[in-house]
Structure 1
């Protein structure tokens, strides 16, 4: 019988292109600096110009540290376009190239090409409800 740890290890090491967690929560606000300051003062969040970063360990691979970025954006920021929603979620993924191929085969709107930075690869898609989604494969 397979143990819970074996199941988690199988999931963590899978070659299946998929979402592995939430990488960020982004939302509109009238004044991002005031919003960041409010959260720092009232909820004790450590903030910088981009928001706040929360770190956690992968239970199946304790050496792996994951992060979630919390970021308020100025109302009307073009970063969320073409979505008209007031939020955007960033999902952490594995095998982003294969995932994008799969999404295109499923007629999902892929908004841009995969972009690579020092901290990982990114691409943006639209879901069925018109939400822009950011996909991120950490380095």
Structure 2
């Protein structure tokens, strides 16, 4: 990878996992660990090396969610990336399995890949401002 290329992963964007009762799980983490939870889980705000506000999301999903497919695992990682379109092109060249198509929202671009063990990984080129 040339030093002129964007960084691939810049941080953890989120950790998502299956739960029998996401509401009860969110409430437990709120009560016992102090996570400031809402209907989506908990958002952790931090600053990157340039002092920019960044967010990492923690979210329990319903145990029958299809969102993690084709992975059969109970969790999915989300990584923050610098330039998703460039990274997807590089990953395709490297033979990485891409799942579905890139999606764009007010808070960033998303795409999904599989690691060698079939774990689905969400890649997020974030726009953190709309999430505040």
TM-score by length of 1: 0.86
The aligned residue for residue 93 of structure 2 is 105
1:92–1:135 CA contact under 8 A, matched in 2: yes
Q: How does 1:76-115 map to 2 (within 5 A)?
A: 76-115=64-103
Give the gaps of 5 or more residues in structure 2: 128-132
* RMSD over equivalenced CA pairs, Å: 1.3
The aligned residue for residue 5 of structure 1 is none
Q: How does 1:69-80 map to 2 (within 5 A)?
A: 69-80=57-68
Tell me which protein shows more helix as a share of its residues: 1
Cα distance in 1 for partners of 2:83, 2:99 equals 18
- Count of matched residue pairs: 125
Match of 1:68 among 56, 76, 81: 56
TM-score by length of 2: 0.91
Q: How does 1:31-42 map to 2 (within 5 A)?
A: 31-42=21-32
Give the gaps of 5 or more residues in structure 1: 1-10
1:15–1:95 CA contact under 8 A, matched in 2: no
The aligned residue for residue 54 of structure 1 is 44
Moved >4 Å (runs of 4+): none
